[in-house]
Amino acid sequence: MTSLSTLDWLALALFTACWLGYATLTDRVRAIRERSVIEAMDEHRRRWMRATLARENRIADMAAVGNLMTSTSFLATTSILILGGLVAMLGASDMGRRVVASLPWSDVPSEAAWEVKIALLLLIFVNAFFELTWALRQFNYSSILIGGMPPAGDADGATQAEVAARVLNRAARHFNTGLRSYYFGLAALAWIVHPLAFMAASLFVLRELHRREFRSVMREAVRGGP
């Protein structure tokens, strides 16, 4: 038995609904995705690749892709360090539960429940690692495609630019998914303290993701709004 309470199960169900529901709606439902900052940036990357065709010297474009790879690599490396820390927490459950017990209003989990909560965090950051490393590889592929673009005026130029843009957009999508895992990983961390904190953190992360992707000043700026 995992010794999870009814409130724990409700909190876990809410967390799962927030994450999977949000990801499904924003990534799969076209009418919703079209209103997001992610979709707007997809179009800007297409414009970037079309503009690249007109440049004979593409060092700046390669440097921009390199910057994207650096930030992606940083988060992928960080996820590995987080996974190492979580594995250590599994092996020191008594110490971890004593720390939780010292917090006000905390709900100290049993050893079995502690392992379930840490296992959820492990699952989240394993997912983050795979998403981010796949994004890193795709950014690497895009740099090769940019380097192989024909000069301006070539008949195949528009096709090559579209291919490079599609790879860049897929890389950005996986980067965004990996980053989303970080956000929900922080929400799952609150479960260690109390299931009510877990529920509140899940709803807060959902609100922040929605605000940043659909209602932020950045969204209006990249979509050409006021």
Predicted pLDDT at 47 = 94
Domain count within the chain = 1
Q: Which is higher by pLDDT, 94 or 199?
A: 199
The CA dihedral of 213, 214, 217, 218, to the nearest 10 degrees, is 40
Count the neighbouring beta carbons within 10 Å of the beta carbon of residue 51: 11
What's the rounded Cα separation, in Å, for the pair 12 and 199? 8
Residue 158 lies in a domain: yes
Task: Report CA torsion sign: 96, 102, 104, 107.
Answer: positive
Residue 206 lies in a domain: yes
Q: What is the pLDDT of residues 33-82, one digit of tens each?
A: 999 999 999 999 999 999 999 888 889 999 999 999 999 999 999 999 99
Predicted pLDDT at 164 = 94
Residue 180 lies in a domain: yes
Residue 1 lies in a domain: no
Question: Range of 130's domain?
Answer: 6-222
Residue 97 lies in a domain: yes
pTM: predicted TM-score of the whole model, two decimal places: 0.90
Residue 130 lies in a domain: yes
Closest alpha carbon to 67 in 161, 152, 216, 168 = 168
Q: What is the pLDDT of residues 196-223, one digit of tens each?
A: 999 999 999 999 999 999 999 988 899 8
Q: Could you tell me the two tokens for 216?
A: 């932020």
Residue 84 lies in a domain: yes
DSSP calls for 164-212? HHHHHHHHHHHHHHHHHHHHHHHHHHGGGT-HHHHHHHHHHHHHHHHHH
Residue 17 lies in a domain: yes
Predicted pLDDT at 1 = 42
